[in-house]
Amino acid sequence: MIHVVQPQESVYSIATKYGVPYERVIADNEITNPQALVVGQTLVIMDGMRKYTIRRGDTLYGIARRYGVTVDDLVEANPGINPQALTIGQAINIPSQTKKLGSIRVNGFAFPSINLEVLRKTLPSLTYLSIFSYDIRPDGSLNTINDEPLIREAKSGGVAPMMVISNIEEGSGFSSDLIRTVLNSEQIQNTLIDNVIAVLDAKGYYGLNLDLEYVYPEDREKYNSFIRKITSRLEPLGYLVTSSIAPKQTATQRGRLYEAHDYPVHGRLLNYVIIMTYEWGYTYGPAQAVAPLNQVRRTLDYAVTAIPRNKILLGVPNYGYDWTLPFVQGSAARSLTNKAAVELAARVGANIKFDEKAKSPFFNYYDSSGKRHEVWFEDARSMEATLRLVNEYGLAGISFWTINSFSPQNILVLNGLYDIIKVYD
């Protein structure tokens, strides 16, 4: 259950309203300063099964309305109850308002630098842990990363560790030229695949994620051929193979980020496809939601026509941005965690608003130099809206970018709506 903080409310008054201990609200939401709630802030109330004692004049219908459940829910939670003959003093069960929608797969990307305590708190809610990343070199070799601690933690938590390879150039970002060099040489591709298999085997990985971005549009078919080649090598060895692809809204969408990502080919050849449905609001762009739901829907409307629904993992951002206004081309927003965004709102005295079209929270404030800022981030409401798309579209699950910071509300809402599929034991 999601509560939006109203003026004059406290953790105690909110907890009392829902009949749960206020200490649990603080603990579940990891509230660092209970005296500094922000108007518009969300709190996840984990009500669970509660007890209610029948009073004079009570009806099952009235009790159901009071607790936001249905009469059928009450009857199901209380076998043998007679709705027409309630007894004063009779104790009945009040079920949770939230009903689970099914079981899904959950991937989380993590950098090797992740705090292991953060990782341990997140692992129970993951199917796969994708460790980012082994960067490809022009000769088909790979850099080295300190992934062993993450692999050990994943396996001990029943989570399947996934190796990630990317075309990130040393000291820079994703390189179109680097991946072109690989795609234009059969020898380099064979060397790369041999090196990937060696790491998969030596480290005990469950599978591989291909995060190859900004591939030149004219290299599209060569990228498709590389996918055929690497899957034909890895699948007989029992490895899962996934890819990360740009959030296209049409098959013919232009732009270097999009054109070489051939949705039908990825959907046909790979076990799962992660659609990176975020970064509409990004570091060097104007202020807006990172993953506006209306844009995510447009992406899914196309995606399900090209990729089997049960292979799609929907990308979920686990961060926000703070922009200085007015936006100036070339200026950079500051990234921040979801928890830090709420703490910033409390510190500057801002009320959090919610954009119903984008299904995302935001707020404005002025800094000490008088400059206006706009902050967009994710909260329990945006998380719930995104998670319900998984059920609506019949997708396989979601993929967090990244889990390096812990957002308790993400995890609470996720586990309130779905059971997490585990494939590693």
Q: Taking every pair of C-alpha atoms in the chain, what is the biggest distance, in angstroms?
A: 82
Would you state the pLDDT for residue 57? 92
Q: Residue 5: name the closest of 21, 23, 25 by CA.
A: 25
CATH number for the domain that contains residue 63: 3.10.350.10
**Average pLDDT of the segment spanning 2-27:** 93
Burial of 286 (0-12, 13-18, 19+ CB in 10 A): middle
pLDDT tens for each residue of 269-290: 999 999 999 999 999 999 999 9
Tokens of 288: 């807006």
If pLDDT is split at 50, 70 and 90, which confidence band does 68 have? Answer: confident
Whole-number Å distance between alpha carbons of 160 and 129: 6
Q: Is 259 labeled as catalytic in the residue annotation?
A: no
Tokens of 218: 């004219």
Within-domain flag for 74: yes
Would you state the pLDDT for residue 20? 87
The dihedral through the CA atoms of 99, 101, 107, 108 has a sign that is negative
Question: 8: how many CB neighbours lie within 10 A of its CB?
Answer: 8
> Which DSSP category does 235 fall into?
G
Would you state the pLDDT for residue 96? 79
Number of H helices, E strands in the chain: 14, 18
CATH number for the domain that contains residue 388: 3.20.20.80
- Same domain for 293 and 400? yes
Would you state the pLDDT for residue 149? 98
Cis amide prior to 326 (ω within 30 degrees): yes
- Same domain for 217 and 260? yes
- Same domain for 118 and 58? no
Q: How distant is the alpha carbon of residue 56 from its chain centre?
A: 47
Would you state the pLDDT for residue 99? 82
Q: Report CA-CA distances (Å) from 176 to 124, 167, 220, 222, 353.
A: 36, 8, 12, 13, 39
- pTM here is 0.92
If pLDDT is split at 50, 70 and 90, which confidence band does 300 have? Answer: very high
Within-domain flag for 286: yes
Cis amide prior to 402 (ω within 30 degrees): yes
What is the four-CA torsion angle of 75, 81, 87, 91, rounded to 10 degrees? -70
**Average pLDDT of the segment spanning 312-324:** 98
Would you state the pLDDT for residue 51? 82
Within-domain flag for 425: no
If pLDDT is split at 50, 70 and 90, which confidence band does 80 have? Answer: confident
If pLDDT is split at 50, 70 and 90, which confidence band does 39 have? Answer: very high
Residue 204, phi-psi category: left (phi > 0), alpha (psi -120 to 50), beta (remainder): left
Would you state the pLDDT for residue 209? 99
What domain range includes position 29?
2-94
- Same domain for 158 and 279? yes
- Same domain for 322 and 188? yes
- Same domain for 199 and 321? yes
Coil, strand or helix: which one is 417? helix
Q: Is the pLDDT of residue 211 over 90?
A: yes
Would you state the pLDDT for residue 69? 86
Q: Residue 41: name the closest of 50, 49, 51, 33 by CA.
A: 33
Whole-number Å distance between alpha carbons of 70 and 61: 8
- Same domain for 78 and 128? no
Within-domain flag for 61: yes
| Cβ-based neighbours of 49, under 8 Å, separated by 6 or more | 77, 93, 94, 95, 96
Last residue of a domain, one of 77, 94, 111: 94
**Average pLDDT of the segment spanning 200-227:** 98
- Same domain for 79 and 135? no
Q: Pairing mode, if any, of strands 360-366 and 42-44? A: unpaired
| Cβ-based neighbours of 163, under 8 Å, separated by 6 or more | 130, 131, 134, 196, 199, 200, 203, 205, 207, 208, 209
Whole-number Å distance between alpha carbons of 140 and 262: 23
Query: b vs e for 112-132, b when ≥16 Cβ sit within 10 Å of the residue's Cβ?
Result: eebeeeebeebbebbbbbbbb
**Average pLDDT of the segment spanning 239-258:** 98
**Average pLDDT of the segment spanning 19-42:** 94
pLDDT tens for each residue of 374-419: 999 999 999 999 999 999 999 999 999 999 999 999 999 999 999 9
What is the four-CA torsion angle of 139, 145, 148, 153, rounded to 10 degrees? -120
- Same domain for 56 and 126? no
Share of the chain above pLDDT 70, in %: 100
Within-domain flag for 232: yes
Q: Report CA-CA distances (Å) from 226 to 55, 221, 276, 303, 357.
A: 70, 9, 21, 22, 39
Would you state the pLDDT for residue 296? 98
Q: Is the pLDDT of residue 49 over 80?
A: no
170 or 141, higher pLDDT:
141
pLDDT tens for each residue of 324-346: 999 999 999 999 999 999 999 99
- Same domain for 414 and 342? yes
- Same domain for 273 and 136? yes
Within-domain flag for 366: yes
Within-domain flag for 120: yes
> Which DSSP category does 174 fall into?
B
Would you state the pLDDT for residue 19? 79
**Average pLDDT of the segment spanning 194-205:** 98
Last residue of a domain, one of 94, 112, 128: 94
Q: Residue 177: name the closest of 218, 144, 221, 142 by CA.
A: 218
Helix (H) or strand (E) holding 220: helix 220-234
Q: Pairing mode, if any, of strands 272-275 and 312-317? A: parallel
Q: One of 153, 213, 374, 384 is an active-site residue; which one?
A: 213
pLDDT tens for each residue of 91-110: 998 887 778 899 999 999 99
Mean model confidence pLDDT for the chain: 96
Helix (H) or strand (E) holding 162: strand 160-166
Last residue of a domain, one of 76, 94, 112: 94
Q: Residue 98: name the closest of 377, 388, 294, 316 by CA.
A: 388
- Same domain for 21 and 110? no
* Total domains present in the chain: 2
Within-domain flag for 388: yes
Would you state the pLDDT for residue 377? 98
